[in-house]
Chains A and B, each alone.
Chain A
Amino acid sequence: MAPHGFSVPAAVIPVLLVLSACWRSDGLTSDPFPAHYPTFTRNDTLFEHIALHPDPAVGRVYVGARDRLFQLDRHLVAELQDNTGPVTDSRECLPPVTEANCPQARPTSNHNKLLLVDPFSMELITCGSINQGICQKRSLDSVDKVLFSAERPVDTQYVAANHPNVSTVGLVVRSRPDRQPVLFVGRGYTSSHPPISTRNLAQEPVFSYEETAKLAVAGRLSEYDHHFVASFAHQHHIYFLFYRRDLKSQSREYRTYVSRVCLDDQAYYSYVEVPLACLSAAGKSYNLLQAVRLGSPPRGGSESEAGQAKVLLGVFSTRQASSTRPSEDSALCMFKLDDLDQLINSTRDLCYTQYGRAEGGGEAAYIEYEVKSNCAYLPLNTLEAYPCGSDHTPSPMASRVAVEAEPILDSPSARLTAVAVSVRVGHTIAFLGDSKGNLRKVFLGPNGEVEEYSVVSIQANAAISSDLVLDQSEDHLFIMTPTMLQKRPVAECYQHLDCQECLSAHDPYCGWCVLEGRCGLQSQCSRGDQEGQWLWSFDMEQQCLNVLSLSPSNTSREEHRHVSLSVPRLPGLKQGETYSCFFGDSESPASVTEAGVLCLSPEFPRVPAVLPGQGEFK
């Protein structure tokens, strides 16, 4: 088979460069020093939250840190900084704190508890741990410019937890384009403030829940001890994820819950809470949610992506028996949002019309938080007439039944602390951060395949913050530790210079773009969605194109004749496009045959030597 007739340096190589456009992607190839990711580090503070400018073209990044706020450009170069602390404050005192009304006040660090973009009024909302967690509105263009801050705030304007270790989550949404946007807040327990509330952003008193809504808890909040993990809006609802003590159980163990409220529900009549259980087959309960993300197909994604079910990926930990801190033993669980919604809806339906009893007669739905109300036996048309409840429907509802899932990945010795999700065609990628400073990439296939295909150490022994976010195009990932923020591409296909390298990288993002001769994302390969054009790196059976055989294998240099090259899986071409064979410098047009291509060998002395197997596609 060895084509002895060709000289060594110049291989036979049929290659095409029919298409003239340049298929270079900004993200993947613009960085000339791939090892040097945009990185922002500070040693004098602790990074706590990150927010992205809503306009991807601006690409600005905001970082909320202890006593600092940073405004960074797309390369994570600091543009502005505002010093927010330390401030003379005390957790026992109400703002404004003065020497007279609060002699115990001491210089206190201001931890950033909430950093949110209001995309409707294009403002940044920041809430710190000092001054009872009051918030400010800031300019997105200059983070140090405070647009609003209540001078004499009242307690309904206290938003965030006033403790560095107690989390607060939030989201700015509006139920309809003609409505004012509101701020939904989930606030962990520090003192008796409503765990979930809706804050108005437009009228005085700004940030207050007085005229909007709150989750009214009749019982003692300290007994529930909420810890909020995340909130997100989807369609007409807002969801909160948190763990709290289950007071209905004997042990009062912490348990994770997801709650849902209709976006335009001004009184939380529609509030439903269901337990979320991440249970191993052996019965181990990962009860403490650490981070969670809703995996939705990217906006403007293809139709097949939009049809894909939305999933909720959560990383859970267990609790060390002797302490209140979560242990390192942790796991990843995946829930379908549809399943959650279904249980929430059935909880509501049973509570409205069946006294909360399931078919077998057992209690499935009940009224939580010691509110003096009971599931009812309302007419069946209530469900249709009041899908989001009304003043006469019982609330706040809760489900006895949990949505359960088995861990799809466990991490016994490094607590999973962060999760980001990217839903692709046919599969999902989970980016996980752990307490040891690793970024872990997990492939989740359509048939339940789970494969952790990459572990990258970001910063040794620095826990990855749960604010692990993808940019709007989902090309980059912002990875944060207490002292470092790094922006990395979701995959670095361009590093792989040839097909073999590209395929052996085994990265689900990457593939060899045959006609362009590059390693890259499928979306960046011009005909990537066509058969044989983009060789998926993650596919173990995928092989690079090569010349299997030449026929004739030998030919005299003098002879000017047709050479047949056998190239399996050679991608087809459009009309008017052709392959060419290069024999050294000499090009000859190739005609596609069933097995490969047929070329006319160049005239002597232009024929280079060819070694077997060296045929190459570029």
Chain B
Amino acid sequence: MSPLTVLGVFCGLFLPLSLSEYNTHNCIPRKSVLYQDNMKLFREEGIWNYSTMLVREDLGLLILGAREAIYALDIKDISIKKSVVNWPVTDEKLKECTSKGKHAESECRNFIRALHKMDHNTMYVCGTNAFSPTCVNVTYSEGHLTRGDRLEEGKGKCPFDPIQRYSSVMVGNELYSATSNNFLGSEPVVLRSGPSSLRTVFKSSWLNEPNFVYMDLVPESDNNPEGDDDKVYLFFSENAVEYDFYNKLLVSRVGRVCKGDVGGQRTLQGKWTSFLKARLDCSLPEPSLPSIVQDVFLLKDSDWTKSVFYAVFTPQSSLSDVSTVCAYNVSTIGQLFDTGKFKTPVTVETSYVKWVMYSGEVPTPRPGACINNAARALEMTRSLDLPDKTLQFISDHPLMDEAVPPLTGRPLLVKKGAMFTCLVVDNVLALDGERHAVLFIGTENGFVQKAVNYAGEMFIIEEIQLYRTPEPIKTMRLSSSTGQLYAGSDYGAVQMPLCDCGRYESCLDCVLARDPYCGWDLSSGVCSAVVNSTKFVQSLKNGDISQCPKSDTLKPENHTLVPGNNIKLPCQPDSNLAQVHWLFSGQPLLSGTKHYIYNGGLLILNASTNDAGPYTCESVEQVNSRTHTRTMAVYELQPQTNKAEEGTETMTTYSHSTPLPHDPSVLEPPLPPAPRSDEHRVVGLQVSVAVLSVMLVGLVAWNVYKGQFRSKSSETSGAGQLKGPSVDVQRSKTSEIKPLTPTSSHNANNNHSAFISFKGNGEHPFSGCNTLHVDGFGYINDESEI
């Protein structure tokens, strides 16, 4: 009991803080979809690190890079392996690697880190190859993957270290890579390999212990009035030089180079003359350390000026668990690089260097600019022609003074809980003709958050658990043509459809889901992917359900009231965002000593004949301050005509449907037989209720504070012990007291499995799936150790 009390106090302390910190409303996913066994998974025994992916829609393949293996998987069903090519390290390499102090299994293997599309059916593949990175061509023909014979030095193209972050992009036949250039990982480089190889200068003002995250090409030469060049953008985090801080402070950056750059003539020869970088701002409203960019996705628009980079950020401090998403307009970044002020180092006392805004004269052509019409007018057609002054300036001043502001001036999404690891964005054409960017955000516990922005407000449509056990999602790829999302982790690769409209069973649920992929098909009466031809109901911005067909009023279920018993009336809303309201004879019920309202339903303690009457459960969901109320369940409690038998259950649970003979939802606590309501029991009950209350308060507080439960054990065992092919099992990890609720189905036709432990110490070996109280405590123990 004491750990609980401690937790209660602990959470209580945090409560005011957490409440003031955020309006957590918009970070709660409307639905939580737990792991489903029919999830399409690919993994092979003994193979790990499925962390590199390449979608080849042209070949109908998902190319998957893992430890010492490259797979060609069916793009429609990745559990179908079409071919594999193994690429193990040689014994010699392995020996050399281990003799250099690296771990034989976790480091001295060939971890595939780069997969790039080449011509036709060829892929350019790089692996760490026991800390001696190597690249090779792999071709797919006649259903078979074949590894080429010609091995290429992979230094600078691929990291030595399998766990080091890095990025690369193939532009034409030139590979742009950002990684470390040596065994120790001490020499970062942004490299373009090929005939006109270029690299960054090794100095801290260029790259200061960077962590590379993402690279992509923006075709800025398209219809460019300034005659500008295509650019490769690079996202990374690094040690800041521009802040005075007691310790190393990380900042997020966007950098870029010009595709046409060929280096300088007398200085910066073989080096980028166009490397510029700026801080990426994605700051929270309250003061905090700069957040760290983890992954980026470029949502391309046919007009490149409208292309947008979406980036996920996690906090720098381990004390925080707020992940954010920010979006940046390509043209905003470009404008900052093209016209912004530079930062310059200034030596202050005893040689300390401070970075301040450079206010002196900036040489012409502008340092860091690509060769554009302005440069051509000065008869400079290649970067080799650039004057030394410009080159010397850019060599010393690669950093811009200002930060790149996020698209809306603030983060698009702020969410507590499991850290975001990666994201992809799909551009969805909705029924109203508008395009919506739908974000799929992978988390460190194996969930995908599906989120969309409506009129500046972020809305998480759902969260989907991709792995049975919490697995940090390492990579995600999107195939719009097949409507699939692929995620990779150390454990395996999984596939998930971008939408599963069938999950929404009522029109109200379908419309309030505000999923741009889905609409309520009035003709067939199901929620399905929107197609223009049929008549659909969809209201993304407002959640307007007025066009939904009127639903029939529910018929009350009759139940018998046994005085002295505790009665549970289950009611589970469709949405984590909905609030449950209970009415007794038309009057609202509030949680108190008599009634306890929790997420799974209503608990009537020590029922008496006064409690007989009609009970109504309403789900109230707000969309844009419009309130939608829906009656979820109606019960009629009728006083018992006969006196209860000896050995009455201490609690009665009713269900919408008739309990099955072995329905575990009917609680039969294995208490000693014939406990005959003695004092002992009553005292025990009171204590239990007290314990429960403390626990609930604690959990609510903790929940609010954390935003989302991050209990590995609870999710693991909870999900793992679901019986049978349960469909759409819903379990929010965000709303109140959820950990105490059992897994339950929102489907009225399914059995409700509801259970509350009054004992609170998990001493009862309950049979069946209802072991959630144990999980709950496991969770608490987990967190209290933090």
User: Which residues from B are CB-within-8-Å of A155?
Assistant: 266-269
The answer to whether the Cβ of B203 comes within 8 Å of any Cβ in the partner chain is yes
With A192-B396, A373-B186 already in contact, the answer to whether A218 and B203 are too (CB < 8 A) is: yes
B345 proximity list for chain A (CB < 8 A): 220, 222
Quick check: A392 and B184 within 8 Å, CB to CB?
A: yes
Whether A94 touches B204, Cβ cut-off 8 Å, given contacts A220-B345, A378-B101, is no
B267: chain A residues within 8 A (beta carbon): 94, 154-155
Interface residues of B in 654-678 (CB under 8 A from A): none
> Measured between alpha carbons, how far is A217 from B206 in the docked complex, in Å?
12
A216 to B102, CA, bound (A): 24
B122 is an interface residue with CB less than 8 A from chain A: no
Q: Which of B99, B269, B351, B389 contacts A385 (CB 8 A)?
A: B99
CA distance A391 to B102 in the complex (A): 13
B residues within 8 A CB of A93?
A: 388
**Interface: B202 (CB within 8 A):** yes
Q: Is the CB of A252 within 8 A of B266?
A: no
Against B, the Cβ 8 Å flags (1 = close, 0 = not) of A168-195 are: 0000000000000000000000001000
Whether a CB of chain A sits under 8 angstroms from the CB of B347 is: yes
Given A220-B204, A391-B184, do A154 and B396 touch, yes or no (CB 8 Å)?
Answer: no
By beta carbon, the residue of chain B nearest A391 is B183
| B565 close to chain A: CB less than 8 A | no
With known contacts A94-B267, A101-B387, A376–B101 Cβ distance under 8 A: yes
B82 sits at the interface (CB 8 A): no
Q: Is A82 an interface residue (CB 8 A)?
A: no
The reply to whether the CB of B205 lies closer than 8 angstroms to some CB of chain A is yes
- Whether A223 contacts B186 in the complex (CB less than 8 A), given A93-B388, A94-B266, A154-B269, comes out as no
A192 to B392, CA, bound (A): 10
Residues of A within 8 A of B265 (CB): 154
Q: Which chain B residues (372-411) contact chain A, with CB distance < 8 Å?
A: 387-389, 392, 395-396
B353 within 8 A of A: yes
Residues of B within 8 A of A360 (CB): none
On chain A, the number of residues with a Cβ less than 8 Å from chain B's Cβ atoms is 40
Q: Report yes or no: B203 in contact with A192, Cβ–Cβ below 8 A.
A: yes
Main secondary structure of the interface of A (DSSP, over half): loop
A154-B266 in contact given A101-B388, A373-B184 (Cβ < 8 Å):
yes
Q: Could you say which residues of chain B place their CB within 8 Å of the CB of A101?
A: 387-388
Distance, CA A9 to CA B388, complexed state (A): 87
Query: A329 at the A/B interface (Cβ < 8 Å)?
Result: no
A154-B266, A218-B186, A392-B183 given; A252·B203 CB < 8 A: no
User: Contacts A192-B203, A222-B347 given: A153-B186 contact, CB under 8 Å?
Assistant: no
Shortest CB distance A288–B (Å)? 15
Complex-state Cα separation, A251 to B266, whole angstroms? 38
A41 on interface, CB distance cutoff 8 Å: no
Query: B267 → chain A, closest Cβ, in Å?
Result: 4
| Nearest-neighbor residue (CB-CB) of A253 within chain B | B350
Q: Do A223 and B266 touch (CB < 8 A)?
A: no
A386: nearest chain-B partner, CB-CB = B100
Does B185 lie at the interface of the complex (its beta carbon under 8 Å from any beta carbon of A)? yes
> How many whole Å from A212's CB to the nearest CB in chain B?
15
What is the CA–CA distance of A92 and B361 in the complex, to the nearest angstrom?
A: 15
Q: Which of A82-125 contact B (CB under 8 A)?
A: 92-95, 101
Please determine whether A153 and B101 come into contact, CB atoms closer than 8 angstroms.
no
Query: Given A252-B351, A373-B184, do A219 and B101 touch, yes or no (CB 8 Å)?
Result: no
In the complex, which residue of chain A has the Cβ closest to the Cβ of B387? A101
Least CB distance, B352 to chain A, in whole angstroms: 7
Cβ distance A219 to chain B, nearest Cβ, rounded Å: 6
B131 interface residue (CB < 8 Å to A): yes
Checking A95, A218, A225 against B202 with a beta-carbon cut-off of 8 angstroms, the contacting residue is A218
- The docked-state distance in angstroms from the alpha carbon of A378 to that of B103 is 11
Interface size on B, residues (CB 8 A): 34
Query: Is B338 in contact with chain A by the CB < 8 A criterion?
Result: no
Q: Which of A354-387 contact B (CB under 8 A)?
A: 370-373, 376-379, 381-382, 385
Contacting residues, chain B, for A385 (C-beta < 8 A): 99
Q: List the B side residues contacting A392 at CB < 8 Å.
A: 100-102, 131, 183-184
Q: Is B187's beta carbon under 8 Å from chain A?
A: yes
In the assembled complex, the Cα of A152 lies from the Cα of B384 at a distance in Å of 13
A223 to B208, CA, bound (A): 16
Cα A390 to Cα B351 in complex, Å, equals 33
With A94-B266, A101-B387, A154-B269 already in contact, the answer to whether A219 and B184 are too (CB < 8 A) is no
A382–B352 alpha-carbon span in the complex (Å): 37
A261 to chain B, nearest CB (A): 17
Instruction: Say yes or no for B209: interface residue by CB 8 A criterion.
Output: yes
B631 adjacent to chain A (CB < 8 Å) = no
A390 to B388, CA, bound (A): 36
A394 within 8 A of B: yes
Contact mask for chain A residues 453-466; partner B; CB cutoff 8 A; 1 contact, 0 none: 00000000000000
Q: Is B182 engaged at the interface, CB distance under 8 Å to the other chain?
A: yes
A245 at the interface (CB under 8 A from B): yes
Compute how far the CA of A93 lies from the CA of B350 in the bound complex, rounded to whole angstroms: 28
Q: For the complex, give the distance between the alpha carbons of A101 and B386 in Å.
A: 11
- Measured between alpha carbons, how far is A19 from B266 in the docked complex, in Å? 70
The answer to whether B209 touches A372 (Cβ under 8 A) is yes
Q: Give chain A residues whose Cβ lies under 8 Å from the Cβ of B387.
A: 101
Which residues of the partner chain A approach B131 to less than 8 Å between Cβ atoms?
A: 392
Q: A372-B209, A385-B99, A391-B183 are in contact. Are A94 and B388 (CB under 8 A)?
A: yes
Q: Which residue of B lies closest to A367 (CB)?
A: B186
Question: Hey, which chain B residues are within 8 Å of A379, CB to CB?
Answer: 99, 101
Partner of B100, one of A95, A152, A252, A378: A378
Whether the pair B186, A371 counts as a contact (CB closer than 8 A) is: yes
Check A223–B352 contact: CB distance below 8 A: yes
Given the interface contacts A94-B267, A155-B267, A394-B184, does A245 sit within 8 Å of B350 by beta carbon? yes
Q: Which residues of B contact A394 (CB under 8 A)?
A: 184
Are B203 and A217 in contact (CB-based, < 8 A)? yes
Are B101 and A218 interface neighbours, CB within 8 A? Answer: no
Contacts of A219 in B (CB 8 A): 204
A437 to B101, CA, bound (A): 57
Residue of A whose beta carbon sits closest to that of B271: A155
CB distance from A377 to the nearest CB of B (A): 7
Tell me, in angstroms, the Cα distance from A394 to B184 when the chains sit together: 7
A218–B183 touching, CB < 8 Å:
no
Hey, which chain A residues are within 8 Å of B100, CB to CB? 378, 390, 392
**Contact between B266 and A152, CB atoms less than 8 A apart:** yes
A251 to B351, CA, bound (A): 10
**Which B256-302 residues have a C-beta within 8 angstroms of A?**
265-269
* B351 adjacent to A225 (CB under 8 Å): yes
Tell me the smallest distance from the CB of A95 to a CB of chain B, in Å: 8
Would you give the 0/1 interface string for A546-568, flagging 1 where the beta carbon is closer than 8 Å to chain B? 00000000000000000000000
Q: Which residue of B lies closest to A210 (CB)?
A: B270
A218-270, CB < 8 A from B: 218-220, 222-225, 245, 247, 251-252
Contact A216 B202 (CB under 8 A): yes
Return the chain B residue nearest A390 by Cβ.
Answer: B100
Contact of B350 among A95, A251, A378 (CB under 8 A): A251
A 16-45 binary contact with B (CB < 8 Å = 1; else 0): 000000000000000000000000000000
* A376 and B203 alpha carbons, distance in the complex (Å): 23
Please give me the 5 A-B residue pairs with the lowest Cβ-Cβ distance, nearest first.
Answer: A392-B100, A391-B183, A373-B186, A155-B267, A378-B101
State the B residues within 8 Å of A (CB).
Answer: 99-102, 131, 182-187, 202-205, 208-209, 265-269, 345, 347, 350-353, 387-389, 392, 395-396
A–B Cβ pairs within 8 angstroms, 23 of them? A92-B392, A93-B388, A155-B267, A156-B269, A192-B395, A218-B203, A219-B204, A220-B345, A220-B353, A222-B347, A223-B347, A251-B350, A252-B350, A252-B351, A371-B186, A373-B184, A376-B101, A377-B101, A379-B99, A379-B101, A391-B182, A391-B184, A395-B184
Task: List chain A positions with a Cβ less than 8 A from chain B.
Answer: 92-95, 101, 152-156, 192, 216-220, 222-225, 245, 247, 251-252, 370-373, 376-379, 381-382, 385, 390-392, 394-395
- List 6 extra interface pairs beyond A101-B387, A252-B350, A378-B101, CB under 8 A: A94-B388, A220-B345, A373-B185, A373-B186, A377-B101, A391-B183
